[in-house]
Structure 1
Amino acid sequence: MATWNSRGLRGSVLEELINYANQKYKDKGLALIQKIPTPITPVRFDKESRHITLAYFEKKSTVDYIGAVQGIPVCFDAKECAVDTFSLQNLHPHQVEFMKNFEKQNGISFLLIYYTHRQKCYYLRFSEMIKYWERMEAGGQKNFKYEELSPKFFVPAAGGIALHYLVAMQEDLKERNTDKK
């Protein structure tokens, strides 16, 4: 059983930006995306703040978010990166397997990677992610570099939404449709 220890709300800014976008999408009738809570068993509490300070993960989590965009099933995970090299150790085999199976069911899987030092978010398509993952499994690099990323999949701020990831998803769908022809 894995242990969780609070590390000062790591990733909370990215999560808040995504949650805000998801609320806007819901309000506009564009999508219904929900945060999947990670099941934990609390062990220790801070009595003053009434916060959990130590807990155990009950089971392996799949992805951070799941839902539908205009009838298309969607799942994705959100990651933060403080440097220009994203380590594939940030992904877990069970997450990759879940996303692979989700894709087989005609869903869309992706990662949103927020490069904190650049204040830029990247929409990593499943096809791109699996390429890097398989390269690692074949004994290659255990990471990928910012320079390897396609400029057209950086997530813009638009329509009052700081991380308007549906713009990048639309580009993903266009490429998928082009690949089928």
Structure 2
Amino acid sequence: MSTWNSRGLRGSTLEELINNTNEFYRKKKLALVQKIPTPITPVEFDSSTKRITKAFFEKDSTVDYIGVVQEVPVCFDAKECNSDTFSLQNIHEHQYNFMKEFEEQGGVSFLIILFSVRNDLYYMPFKELKYFIERTKEGHAKNFKYNELNDDYFLKSEGGALVHYLKGLEIDLNSR
């Protein structure tokens, strides 16, 4: 069983940006995407702050977000990286398998990665993630570098969408 503590707050800024973007997309009737909560069982509780200080994850989570964009089912996970090297250990096997099966069912899976040292957001299509994971089986390091990424998939804020992942999705769909 995994334990939750202050590490669970990593990525909370990115998730807040994505949640705001999802609300913007919903109001514009562009997409309906929701955050999937990870079920936890509290173990310790600080009554003075009314906060859970220690908990166990009840089961492995799948992805952070799931929904539909203009009749296209989507699922994605939000990851944060504080260097130019992203460790593939941040992608758990059960998450990868869920995204793979989602793609096999006709959906679109992807990651949104915040490279916090550069303040850059990246839309990683599942096929790119799969490439990086597959090459580890050939002895490559279990990571990828910022400079290996496709410039077309870097995201910019646009028109009220703080993490405008629909741009990445459009490129992804057009490349299939």
TM-score tier, shorter chain, comes to over 0.9
TM-score between both structures, scaled by the size of structure 1? 0.95
1 CA distance for matches of 2:64 and 2:98?
12
Shift of 1:8: 7.2
Residue in 1 that maps onto 2:170: 170
Q: Deviations over 1:31-70 (max 9, x none)?
A: 0000000010000011111100000010000000000000
Instruction: Give 2:144's aligned residue.
Output: 144
* Aligned residues with identical type, % of pairs: 59
Asked whether the equivalents of residues 40 and 56 of structure 2 are also in contact (C-alpha less than 8 Å), the reply is: yes
Deviations 1:121-180 (A, max 9, x none): 00000000000011113322200000000110001111122211101110111111xxxx
Letter of the 1:174 counterpart: N
Name the residue aligned to 1:109.
109
In structure 2, how many angstroms separate the alpha carbons of the residues matched to 1:36 and 1:95?
Answer: 13
Which residue in 2 is equivalent to 1:45?
45
In the other structure, the counterpart of 2:84 is: 84
RCO (CA 8 Å, sep 6+): is it higher in 1 or 2? 2
SS of the aligned residue for 2:24 comes to: helix
Q: Which runs of 5+ in 1 are unaligned?
A: 177-181
Aligned position for 1:70: 70
Structure 2: which 5+ runs fail to align?
A: none
Cα deviation digits, residues 58-104 of structure 1 (max 9, x gap): 00000000000001000000000000000000001111110000000
Aligned length: 176
* Matches of 1:89 and 1:8, distance apart in 2: 16
CA RMSD of aligned residues (A): 1.0
